Amino acid sequence: MSTLDRYLLREWNKVFLLAALGFPFLVMVIDLTDKLDTYLGKGVSKARIAYSYLFYLPETISLVLPVAVLFAVVFTVGTLGRHSELTAAKASGISFHRVVRPLLLASLAAVLLDLGLTELAPVTSARRAELLGEKAAPATRSRFSPFVYRADGGWVYSIRALDLRPGGAEMRDPILEREGTGGDYPTIMVAAQRASYDTARATAGWTLNTGAVRYLLAPGREPTFRFEKLKARTLRETPAALLAEPKAPDEMRYAELGQYIDALSRSGSDTRKLRVERALKLAVPFACIIIALFGAPLAVSTPRSGTAWGVAVCLATTFVDLLMFQLSKAVGSGGALPPAFAAWVPNLIFGVGGVWLWRRART
């Protein structure tokens, strides 16, 4: 890494860290000013409120990272142009493309950081909601009222009670059912008096006790097999997973949201809006590198402009980018475009614009 590369990365990091941490702090101050009375009215202590904002950081930072990257690139490259450092680099045989290469690599690192924060944000946001009393804490010990759990593969569990105990758990009167379509794919029902889960064993899992397995092949054809003990391979969920409260789509990670969408699709529900939301979990972080590609040549289009020009460029680009993401979400949810493609349309447009500006930039 050359001296120029280290200099550029140092300047880029200064602006990036200031924007990536400063914007979330501003958002938290606005949120606290607006909702402090509401939180105190619910009986939440000031210490608990302050602690909850630590869990607010991943969500806010992940949202502003593309903006932070844009500010860092525009101000770093703009400063080079204003102080004639870019002209000196070109005179020494270093092209504009070579000068800004480390900034693009740093922006790519920001993409990876944003992807990680996007996966972490649903967990921390749910924890913050619990601290502020906006969401009940999940049950972790027992559930003595009957409940139904929909699993993968079309299986539905009906459980009368579930009790967690040291080293394992116990279910009472579990019924496992998978709806079929006929003799080739029959409906299966498994009923037992109880089921035990032992975490001390090498292969932890559920063991059904004293029950029967019934296959509904056709009217009048229902072969039944009774058992004293049965290791159910389809019952793969842990006791904690069975006790977990249902999550809202914005509280799910990328893989969880995909499984939720698949389950809704099997039931015939419209999943276009959720598919757009899932695609945006990747499209928004990748906007960091797209916006860097767009902002670098734009910053040197008027090299003698000052800070006001840089701020104006960043704000205008951010406004247009956010507006396009909202429009793409509406278009994808409405079915005018495929959901995944609609989520990536803003990146494609800015990417094409960035390549065009990149090729026009004087090297």
pLDDT in tens, 160-216: 988 887 778 889 999 999 888 777 788 899 999 999 987 766 566 889 999 999 998
Contact 346, 291 (CB under 8 A): no
pLDDT in tens, 88-108: 665 566 676 677 788 888 889
Contact 291, 350 (CB under 8 A): yes
Distance of alpha carbon 141 from alpha carbon 242, whole angstroms? 11
The secondary structure of residue 153, as a DSSP letter, is G
Q: Is pLDDT above 80 for 258? A: yes
CA angle 334, 340, 343 (to 5 degrees): 75
pLDDT in tens, 208-218: 999 999 998 87
Q: Is pLDDT above 60 for 139? A: no
Phi, psi at 227, each rounded to 5°: -145, 155
pLDDT in tens, 64-75: 898 888 888 888
Give the three-state DSSP class for 159: strand
Q: Return the axis-axis angle of helices 57-82 and 3-41, rounded to nearest 10°.
A: 140
**Where do runs of H (alpha helix) occur along 132-271?**
239-243, 254-266
Strands (E), the chain: 142-143, 147-150, 155-159, 161-165, 168-172, 175-178, 187-198, 206-216, 224-231
Q: Is pLDDT above 80 for 117? A: yes
Contact 164, 140 (CB under 8 A): yes
Q: Return the axis-axis angle of helices 96-131 and 272-299, rounded to nearest 10°.
A: 140
Residue found under tokens 């793409």: 328
pLDDT in tens, 273-287: 889 989 999 998 998
Distance of alpha carbon 192 from alpha carbon 272, whole angstroms? 39
Give the three-state DSSP class for 133: coil
| Residue 114, token pair as written in the block | 């944003």
